[in-house]
Each structure stands twice: as structure tokens, then as C-alpha cells.
Amino acid sequence: MTDSAGSLFVTAMMKAYDFDAHEHALIVSAASTLDEIEAMEQALAISGPVSTGSTGQQRVNPLIPALANHRLTLLRILRQLNIESEAAQPSADQKRRSDKARNAAQARWSRGA
């Protein structure tokens, strides 16, 4: 049996950081939200993105907006913890491309002024 996303998250966070009681509660809340997201994703994989409404019409599976809400909730919790994920940080290559694009845009704007 594999560990849940939430329990893996708690383990990783507790190894990486020292949390006060308030932050620990946020970590537990984030873990719970991760587990709920994981369960909804599994259910969505089985049921598919479209479901049948009460009158037989095709409609978006209600799990899709529920997942979106849970992901936003998780993001808000993580922002409260002020933890930057490595995945959210631009790579050196992305940063170089971004810098080049910004410089090119500034050059275009300065020519037009």
C-alpha cells in the first residue's frame, strides 16, 4: 500500500521546516486537501469528464469544478505558509528566455517612443 499524497507532504514538510502550532495546523489542512484532490482525481479518471444530468442531458462532471476549488484551497494554504515550491521557481533556462523577451520588448517600446 502506498502512502497518500497528504502523508507524503506532511513527512516532507516536517523534514524540511520547523513549524509553530498554527503552521502545523495549516500543514495538516493542506495534507487533507491533497488527499481529497487525489481521491477526486481517481474518481474522475473512472467516471470521465462528462456525466448525465437528471433529465438525461450531458454535462460537465461535478468533480471538475470541485477539483478546481480544492486546488485553489491548497494554493491558498500554501501561500499562508509562504513555502515556495521548486516547481514554481523558473529554471535558469526559463529565466534567460524571460530576460531576453523582456529586453526585446523594452527595445521595441523604446523605438516607438
pLDDT in tens for each of the 113 residues of the chain?
568 999 999 999 999 998 999 999 999 999 999 999 999 999 999 999 999 989 999 999 999 999 999 999 999 999 999 876 544 445 565 556 566 666 666 666 666 54
Q: What pLDDT is attached to residue 88?
A: 46
Q: What pLDDT is attached to residue 112?
A: 58
> With 0-12 CB in 10 A as exposed, 13-18 as middle and 19+ as buried, what is 3?
exposed
For residues 52 and 60, the answer to whether their CB atoms sit within 8 Å is no
Q: What pLDDT is attached to residue 82?
A: 86
